Amino acid sequence: MQTEPSQQLVYRCPVCHHDIDVDEGFVNETIQCPNPECGHSIKISAPRATLVGVSDPNQPDDRPDVQAAADNEEVLKVMHPSMLRQQPLKFLGLWLVVLGGTIGSFTALGYEQPLAAAAAGAAATAAGVVLLYWWVCVMATTLTISTRRTELRFGIIQKNTSDVQHDDVRNMQIDQNMMDRMLGVGTIKISSSGQDDLEIVAVGFRNPEEIAALIRQNQ
């Protein structure tokens, strides 16, 4: 006995807005968007994945291939944490050690004191290494705000990414102490309606109120 072919339901990815053919057997299941530039998990029964039609598997499909990228998402702001404003005392202290150690090393050499010169040089080098590592960590932490989502990416060797769709933002808060308010820096915390925990905790970013306002404008 020949079985009838199952229907192909057409859903729209809530992230990249590509149409996706889904076998009806996957209803109430979670799938991966086949768009290589997206790949987000989609719960087929969720309201965010909208059923837009039913395709006939026996008829040719003249729609564009889902693999073709046609994402019109616009990046609004890309930023990194602020070294100076996030920890001003540490930043200035390290630079003072670098400058003082360098000057002290040359001064000691001028007075023919090699041990003192070596000690001052070692202190300047150590402070410089700490500054360099700190800068690399800062540059490896990126907060990106687009017209659809906020994404926090961090990690030097292994990249970790957290993103929240603006439509799904349930709670957003800004943490600032007195020094943070004076320097215009703070921590932005964002959680979505589908999660109990905070999904994005962005520490040490300038103008956190403007960042929060930009997210709210695109909800």
Cβ(118)–Cβ(112) below 8 Å: no
CATH topology of domain 144-217: PH-domain like (2.30.29)
Amino acid at 183: L
**Which pLDDT score is estimated for 90?**
94
C-beta of residue 9 within 8 angstroms of C-beta of residue 50: no
Q: Quote the tokens at residue 218.
A: 């695109």
pLDDT of residue 132: 95
CA-only gyration radius of the chain, Å = 26
CA-based torsion, 113, 118, 121, 126: positive or negative: negative
Hey, where are the domains in the chain? Answer: 8-55, 84-138, 144-217
Q: Output the pLDDT for position 70.
A: 41
Q: Report the chain (219 residues): mean pLDDT per 10 consecutive residues.
A: 60 75 72 76 56 58 48 83 92 95 92 90 95 94 92 86 88 91 93 77 93 89
The string of DSSP codes covering the chain is: -PPPPPPEEEEE-TTT--EEEEEGGGTTSEEE-S-TTT--EEETTSTTSEEEEEE-TTS---SPPTTS------EEEEE---HHHHSHHHHHHHHHHHHHHHHHHHHHHHTT-HHHHHHHHHHHHHHHHHHHHHHHHHHT-EEEEESSEEEEEE-SSS-EEEEEEGGGEEEEEEE--HHHHHHTEEEEEEEETT-SS-SEEEEEEE-HHHHHHHHHHT-
Which pLDDT does position 100 carry in this prediction? 94
pLDDT the model gives residue 98: 95
